[in-house]
Structure 1
Amino acid sequence: MSQSYFIGVDIGTTSTKAIVFSETGEMKGIGNRGYPIAVPQTGWAEQDPEEIFGEMILAMRTAIKQAEVPKSAIAAIGFSGAMHSLIALDAEEQALTPAIIWADNRSLEQTKQLKQDGDGHELYLRTGTPIHTMSPLTKLLWMQEQDAERFQKTKKFISIKEYVFLKLFDRLLVDYSIASATGLFNLEQCQWDAKALNRVGIGADRLSELVPTTFVVRGMKREYADTIGIDPDTPVVVGASDGVLANLGVGAISPHQIAITIGTSAAVRAVVPKPTTDEAGRTFCYALTEDHWVIGGPSNNGGIVLRWLRDEFCQNEVTQAKQKDLDPYEVMIRAASDIPLGAEGLICLPFLSGERAPYWNPEARGVFFGVALHHRRSHFIRAVLEGILFSVYSINLALQELVGKAEAIHASGGYARSDIWLQMTADMFGYEVVVPKIFEGSGFGAAVLAMHAVGHLPKLEAVNQLIQIDDRYQPNLSHTRRYHRMFQIYDRLYRDHVQDFAFLSQLCPPEGCGL
């Protein structure tokens, strides 16, 4: 019997990756195309949906050419998409706005008001999306108030993945997963939430048709199918959001297996069998399938903080990296590995971009605490690495209250390439950390969901038969105890300075300090 191949397409914040996998989970080809984020005003974050679509087409074509598989062998294509984007379409289904992405802070005042007037928490409990500037719900409130003429002209409000399917198939479809990250979707009913729609002043007719994540579409426009190099009738699975598919892609699909992804931002997630929200409002709940719901929390501050440190303070390490043909981050992390646990008394609150879970405070600010004369640049690198992990660990504690302690951590994202950082994770959490051979979790998850949708993989739990574990990291429990003591200081520092952060934000508001 001939081999079948599946393609996972991951439309991310800064790039689209298309990856061709064999039916046994082996990666055969990859295409990766990037695109910029525009900041037309301070605090805004937008992208050109047409540019993203064009780069996605090229990424798919590159992956298929590299894989050298015939059209007839491609059994299905699955899509993953970044959450929380918003695009307004006119009556001719042309874009009236760029894609307003998750990092956009223009709705800060509307978010504050929604939290203060009492509706916010009830909306969160019904929809599973925390009240935050990332949410399309708050973006719509901003548009209703600040861009009323365009708001009234809009026929449909959609996400970037919906835009892609509109271009490919002339259909406006939104999967339950992307919908569940809008703040407009009722988790129990799997329908648009009437109270949320009433709050933003729109009807369900101004949103796309809701479909399960396993919904299959055929009949791609020939011009695009030919450019990509596929048969137009190839089954295309609408798929899900990048966060929930990252869990599937690394095999963390039970409540006691948590997935940690650290790329530009970071997230901690677990899978539960039914919708679950947090009375304290700290976690999200997003759909994967009707029997798989992903709960957890995102942090704004992952690799973006390390990048800031590299660009502003680590030119020596960048120079060394160029001389030795190494990645600058590798040089930085090696320097940090020579510094003892705790950076010899230096603690970093890495909130350079405000913070989402578990604090949901866009006014939070970064802090280095405990600075002394013996601290060198390598100490600060170590403190940043540990600070990013502290932010992730704080989300884990909230998640732990909902699902209990984890048995293992499944790591993905760019940080999964770093032995040093992964060992720090195991030590801080006190859990085993496992690293799949394929750590592009969202792309592989999209392919796996496509396998499931077309009947090739009867149960999602069988994903673990396709995953090869490259590395395992065991915790040093004496280090764990020391990290937990440091975390108490970290958390107290945040809570003791909430009002100070609010004051400082008046000097440079989150919407006025860029991304």
Structure 2
Amino acid sequence: MEYFVGIDLGTSSVRAVAVDVSGQTVAAGQCEYDIKKPELDRAEQDMNQLWESTVLAIRQMLDEKPGIKDQIGGIGFSGQMHGLVMVDQDIRPIGNAIIWADQRTGEQISHIYETVPEEEFGRVFENRLSAGFLLPSLVWVREKQPQSYEKIYKVMLPKDYIRYKICGELGTDASDASSTGMWDMKNRTWAYGILEKLGIPKDLLVESHESYEKAGQVTEECAGLTGLKKGTFVAYGGGDSLMMELGNGMIRGGLMASTIGTACHLTCALDAPLFDPKLRTNTWCHGGEHLWSIMGAHLSGGVALKWLKNNILGAESFDAMTALAQEVPAGSEGLLFLPYLNGERTPHNDPNAKAVYLGMTLRHDKRHMIRSTMEGIVYSMKESYAIFRSLGIKGDRIIAAGGGAKSPLFRQIQADMYDCPIYTNQGKEQASIGAAMTAAVGSGYFKDYEEACGQMVHLSPEVTEPIPENVKLYEEEFLRFKEIYFANKALF
């Protein structure tokens, strides 16, 4: 039996998952870590800590199924997107990584658009710059920490550093590189013209390849630390939202994924780089040539429930919270939650946006707060859904992914708000399966993604159908939800 490994470097943990060629998980390891917030608007992580956590997760995976290392045909990666990792000539990290959740760079985005007008920038990048993207973070370092900037040998994304530690080769892939703000979307290469105008030396960039291509092989040093077999094939892998799409079989249009994790996003696979002219959504390269994806990104997903659980309610568990929420009818009896605890990206692209509970009365209690928080998360994603529909994207079904897919209540809220059946994947490791799939295709086990998806992706027969009366109620409440941001923008 041959196995493939997907290493998923998330925001709160790293998972190493071994799957067989039918996509079934045979072993897994996980190690958690935190975001460092030295100031309110900052979000950083120590790449040395993330590497140590990755080593531990891999060892846990191998310990769960002893002897598997000799049967691993390849390793792929899924990684949190956008973040900046800077390394010196010895490939040692310069300070902490500045990750996607960072909100410090509003001033630098303005500086970039003063040099390259937003319209010109958008024609090449097909996205609007957001705080947390690699480019504005790099410009911030250049302006605020010139001593660190002068030490930079290369810049890369978080998963690229972890892959370097495994195979000893520098590089990135088109799906992750396309999320940096430094990318030419149509031509699937670095936006050298824009970078020249901004004074960013092209020598700082690593080579970019497709997700399934060979990045290298497991080094002797990595084998000694992790227990992996020296010489094992290593693929480039990709950004987590794209790898999750692969793990859900999303390689052609008509199928959307609604992912609720720490943050959340709505995505749809495309065979051409379609983008929103108002630049409210994101368009990324997908896992191979002639594949792209459109995404609405929302910065507060499961983290909003975690905040409510730990900081406000002191609740026992998420299951206990959702059990309480089920006692409340759809619409939370008029209580609305704007989930912008960490700013927002789609559709407002506003790092200053704040969270709001609106409509609270004496009759409301913690049950209403929990349900309205869940509903607020999905309302925000419904804004992306409305944009997709305005662009002519008409998904015929939606797959629930991420932690939110585990909750029947979350699935029902999504079905009702999207007015669309909600499917789930039988496997619970979509990002890791997608990452493993890049290795399975790159190593030659499968000839392409179509064949890999046919063997490794299995949707559950259980489908959550929308409830008509809830659909009507949520459509009406959605109009109120959309007004909360605009009514409070000046106060934010």
Question: TM-score surpassing 0.5?
Answer: yes
Alignment partners' CA distance in 2, 1:335 and 1:115: 47
Which residue of structure 1 lines up, in the alignment, with residue 457 of structure 2? 467
Verify the 8 A CA contact 1:123 1:183 in the aligned structure 2. Answer: no
- Which of 119-128 and 24-33 deviates more? 119-128
Shift of 1:64: 2.1
Alignment length (residue pairs): 489
Structure 1 83/171 Cα, relative in aligned 2: closer, same or farther at 3 Å? same
Alignment partners' CA distance in 1, 2:134 and 2:239: 14
Which residue of structure 1 lines up, in the alignment, with residue 189 of structure 2? 191
Which residue of structure 2 lines up, in the alignment, with residue 297 of structure 1? 296
Shift of 1:424: 1.3
Verify the 8 A CA contact 1:89 1:157 in the aligned structure 2. Answer: yes
Shift of 1:400: 2.2
Alignment partners' CA distance in 2, 1:404 and 1:163: 35
Verify the 8 A CA contact 1:183 1:196 in the aligned structure 2. Answer: no
- Which of 446-455 and 260-269 deviates more? 446-455
**Long gaps (5+) in structure 1:** 319-327, 502-515
Give SS of 1:341's match.
Answer: coil
Alignment partners' CA distance in 1, 2:298 and 2:388: 14
2:374 counterpart of 1:376: no
Alignment partners' CA distance in 2, 1:475 and 1:464: 28
Alignment partners' CA distance in 2, 1:172 and 1:218: 9
Amino acid in the other structure paired with 2:276 = D
- Counterparts of 1:328-343 in structure 2, within 5 Å, are 328-343=317-332
Which residue of structure 2 lines up, in the alignment, with residue 38 of structure 1? 36
**Long gaps (5+) in structure 2:** none
Which residue of structure 2 lines up, in the alignment, with residue 47 of structure 1? 45
Structure 1 184/28 Cα, relative in aligned 2: closer, same or farther at 3 Å? same
Verify the 8 A CA contact 1:129 1:180 in the aligned structure 2. Answer: no
Amino acid in the other structure paired with 2:436 = A
Shift of 1:240: 0.7
Verify the 8 A CA contact 1:124 1:183 in the aligned structure 2. Answer: no
Alignment partners' CA distance in 2, 1:74 and 1:434: 30
Q: 1:394 aligned to 383, 398, 401, which one?
A: 383
Alignment partners' CA distance in 1, 2:196 and 2:20: 46
Shift of 1:113: 4.4
Give SS of 1:444's match.
Answer: helix
**CA deviation vs aligned residue, 1:399-428 (integer Å, no higher than 9, x gap):** 222342211111111111111111111111
2:406 counterpart of 1:407: no
**CA deviation vs aligned residue, 1:41-83 (integer Å, no higher than 9, x gap):** 3322111111111211221121122133433321111111111
Q: 1:150 aligned to 148, 153, 158, which one?
A: 148
Structure 1 216/279 Cα, relative in aligned 2: closer, same or farther at 3 Å? same
Verify the 8 A CA contact 1:251 1:410 in the aligned structure 2. Answer: no
- Counterparts of 1:502-513 in structure 2, within 5 Å, are none
- Counterparts of 1:103-114 in structure 2, within 5 Å, are 103-114=101-112
Q: 2:22 aligned to 24, 27, 32, which one?
A: 24
| Structure 1 length-normalised TM | 0.91
- Among all aligned residue pairs of Structure 1 and Structure 2, give the percentage whose two residues are the same amino acid: 30
2:446 counterpart of 1:457: yes
Structure 1 345/81 Cα, relative in aligned 2: closer, same or farther at 3 Å? same
- RMSD across aligned positions (CA): 1.8
Verify the 8 A CA contact 1:265 1:300 in the aligned structure 2. Answer: yes
Q: 1:263 aligned to 256, 261, 264, which one?
A: 261
Shift of 1:397: 1.3
Q: 1:416 aligned to 384, 401, 405, which one?
A: 405
Verify the 8 A CA contact 2:258 2:399 in the aligned structure 1. Answer: yes
Amino acid in the other structure paired with 1:356 = R
Shift of 1:293: 0.8
Alignment partners' CA distance in 2, 1:456 and 1:495: 52
Shift of 1:117: 7.0
Which residue of structure 1 lines up, in the alignment, with residue 490 of structure 2? 499
Give SS of 1:499's match.
Answer: coil
Structure 1 347/459 Cα, relative in aligned 2: closer, same or farther at 3 Å? same
Which residue of structure 1 lines up, in the alignment, with residue 476 of structure 2? 485
**CA deviation vs aligned residue, 1:263-317 (integer Å, no higher than 9, x gap):** 11101101001222211001111112112111112101101111111123323x4
Amino acid in the other structure paired with 1:272 = L
| Structure 2 length-normalised TM | 0.95
Alignment partners' CA distance in 2, 1:86 and 1:490: 34
Alignment partners' CA distance in 2, 1:226 and 1:312: 41
Which residue of structure 2 lines up, in the alignment, with residue 363 of structure 1? 352
Amino acid in the other structure paired with 1:478 = E
**CA deviation vs aligned residue, 1:326-358 (integer Å, no higher than 9, x gap):** xx1111111111111111111111111111112
Q: 2:164 aligned to 163, 166, 185, which one?
A: 166
Which residue of structure 2 lines up, in the alignment, with residue 344 of structure 1? 333
Alignment partners' CA distance in 1, 2:116 and 2:214: 40
- Which of 7-16 and 141-150 deviates more? 141-150
Alignment partners' CA distance in 1, 2:242 and 2:142: 30
Alignment partners' CA distance in 2, 1:208 and 1:254: 29
Verify the 8 A CA contact 1:83 1:241 in the aligned structure 2. Answer: yes
